[in-house]
Amino acid sequence: MKPEELNPTQEGSGTRLPSTGGLDDELEPLTAVDASNLTFDADNQVNSFLFAGVLGHGGFVGDDGEIHLDVLRRELELRIAAGGGSDLRRLAQRVSRRGSRWFWERCRPDLEWHVRRDQPVRGLAGLGERCAGLAVERLPVDRPLWELLLMPLEGTADVAMALRVHHAVSDGVGALSLVDFLLGHGSGTRPAASLKDVVHRPRRRRFEFARVFAMVRSRVEPTVLLGPIGDNHGVAFADVELEALRQAAHAVGGTINDALLAAVAVSIRTALEGIGEPVPDPLPASIPVALPGRGGAGNATGVMLVDLPTAVADRRERVRRIAEQTSVGVGLAREQGTYELTRSRTGARLMRWLARRQRFVAVFVTNVRGPERPLTIAGAPLLRACPMAPIQGNVRLGVSALSYAGRLTCTIHTGTDALSAAFVAEALQSELEAMVGTDRS
C-alpha cells in the first residue's frame, strides 16, 4: 500500500473512541519527520524498529512454557490505559488522513490482535529467521502501529518474543522507552540527550546544504553492500559482556561505541574477503544520534557519518581513528538536527528516490543504551534482548546494538542473498571476543 493510499478507517481495525470535544481531542497532526517515516515504507523495506528477546518462565509463561495470553493482555491493557508521554499515546492511536494531511486518531487497540501467539521457533537461529520474515511484513495502518508476537522456543520452556513499533511512532531511543514501560517499570519517557554535545550554530545553513548534496556524491566504490534490497532478508546475533568491552575500549582510548564500530569494520572486511568481494576502504557508516529536543515528534535523531578504517590491521589504531571522528561527530550531528529532506513530504519523496541510488553510505550502525536492570513482562523475566533496525534505500547491511543487564547484543540484518548475516555475525562475535581477550591478557 502506498502512503498516498492510507485509509485507516476500515472495519475490523482498532475501534475509534468517541469524541470528547472538538477536533483537537480526536486528531493530532503528524509532524513532518514522523509523516516522512510512512513515506519510506516499502514491501521489502518495512520501516519498523523490532525488539526481540527470550523470556523465561514466570508470570504469564508457565513452568512448562505454556503462554497465558489473557494474563499478558490484561497487564498491557492496564499499562496502556495509564498513558504517559507522546510515544505511549501512540499505542492507542492510528494514522488517519484528512485531505492532504495525516493525523493521529484515538482508538481502542484490539489486544487480541496486537498481542498474539506466533509459530514456534528453534533457538536463536529460528528467532533470527522469524525477525527476517517480519522485515518484509508491513504493519496494517488501520490499527495502532505496533504488535507483540510470542513464540514458543522448541525444546525449552522459554518463549521468544518480537515487539515491532513503526518508526512513525518512535525512533530507536523512544522505542526502548516503550519497551521499558511495557516490560519493566519505566515511565515511558525517553532519556534526554546531553546538551553539552551540541555545538554553536553559526554555520548551520552551510552544513544543511552540504548534507543534502552529499547524497549525490560517490564515495563508495562498487560493492555488494550497495544495491537493490531483496525480499529475502537475513538476521543473526552476536554478543559480549558489556563491562569487559568497556574496559577493552578504554584501554585503547575509545568508548564502547568506538570499539563496536571498530569490530564492525573487521567483521565486514572478513565477510567480504570470505566471498571474494572487494573491501571498500574507508567504509562510510551512518550512525543515528539522539537529539536533545523533539516537541511532539516520535523521531528526534541526527546522523553521524564515520569512515570505518577496514585496511588498518592494528586494533588500537583502528579504534583511535574512529574515536577521532566520533568525538566531534556527535556534536555536529546534534547541531545539524534531523535530516533536511525528512522535514517535508516532497523532501521525503526525494530522499526515498536518492536513497535507492546513493553511494555515500555503505552500512547502518546503531547502538542504544538499554535498561541496566533485568526486565519482566507480566511476571516473565526477559533473559535476552536483541534490537533490530530496518535497512533502507540501497544499503543492504545494518548492525543494531543494545546494552541490557550487563551484556551488549548486536543484531546483523542483511537484505541480499549475496551476504550472509550468519557469516557477518560470526566474524563480529570473533572480533568482539578478541577485543575482550586482549584487554584481559
What is the model's pTM? Answer: 0.85
Q: Is the pLDDT of residue 26 over 80?
A: no
**274 plus 354 within the same structural domain:** yes
- Residue 6 has a pLDDT of 43
- Residue 424 has a pLDDT of 98
Range of the domain at 25: 3-183
217 inside domain: yes
What is the rounded average pLDDT for all residues in the chain?
Answer: 83
| CATH code at position 45 | 3.30.559.10
- 286: pLDDT confidence band, cut at 50, 70 and 90? very high
- 21: pLDDT confidence band, cut at 50, 70 and 90? very low
| CATH code at position 263 | 3.30.559.30
- Residue 192 has a pLDDT of 46
- Total number of domains in the chain: 2
**284 plus 418 within the same structural domain:** yes
Rounded to an integer, the average pLDDT of 134-148 is 94
* Boundary (domain end) residue, out of 150, 183, 216: 183
Label each residue of 135-201 as H, E or C: CCCCCCCCCCCEEEEEEEECCCCCEEEEEEEECCCCCHHHHHHHHHHHHCCCCCCCCCCCHHHCCCC
**206 plus 165 within the same structural domain:** no
- Residue 383 has a pLDDT of 96
Q: Residue 243 CB: number of other CB atoms within 10 A?
A: 13
Which residues make Cβ contacts (< 8 Å) with residue 230, sequence separation at least 6? 44, 415, 416, 417
Least confident piece of the model among 72-86, 217-231, 351-365: 72-86
188 inside domain: no
Report d(CA 219, CA 213) in Å as an integer. Answer: 13
**40 plus 79 within the same structural domain:** yes
- 290: pLDDT confidence band, cut at 50, 70 and 90? confident
**271 plus 347 within the same structural domain:** yes
- Is 144 in contact with 339 (CB distance < 8 Å)? no
**Nine-digit cell at 18?**
468517541
Q: Which of 80-94, 340-354, 424-438 has the highest mean pLDDT?
A: 424-438
**210 plus 283 within the same structural domain:** yes
Please state, for a pLDDT cut of 70, what percent of the chain lies above it: 78
Comparing 218 with 338, which gets the higher pLDDT?
218
**9 plus 158 within the same structural domain:** yes
Report d(CA 318, CA 245) in Å as an integer. Answer: 15
200 inside domain: yes
**174 plus 199 within the same structural domain:** no
Three-class SS of residue 341? Answer: helix
- 58: pLDDT confidence band, cut at 50, 70 and 90? very high
- Residue 193 has a pLDDT of 46
405 inside domain: yes
CA torsion, ordered 353, 355, 356, 358, to nearest 10 deg = 120
Q: Is the pLDDT of residue 276 over 70?
A: yes
381 inside domain: no
- 113: pLDDT confidence band, cut at 50, 70 and 90? very high
Q: Is the pLDDT of residue 124 over 70?
A: yes
Residue 76's nearest CA partner among 312, 303, 322, 379 is 379
* Boundary (domain end) residue, out of 141, 161, 183: 183
Least confident piece of the model among 112-116, 201-205, 256-260, 385-389: 201-205
Instruction: Give how far Cα 136 sits from Cα of 37, 234, 420, Å.
Output: 16, 11, 17
Radius of gyration of the CA atoms of the chain, in A: 21
311 inside domain: yes
- Is 89 in contact with 2 (CB distance < 8 Å)? no
207 inside domain: yes
Report d(CA 305, CA 193) in Å as an integer. Answer: 18
* Boundary (domain end) residue, out of 132, 150, 183: 183
**167 plus 202 within the same structural domain:** no
**172 plus 203 within the same structural domain:** no
Least confident piece of the model among 20-29, 77-86, 251-260: 20-29
140 inside domain: yes
- Residue 217 has a pLDDT of 66
- 197: pLDDT confidence band, cut at 50, 70 and 90? very low
- 400: pLDDT confidence band, cut at 50, 70 and 90? very high
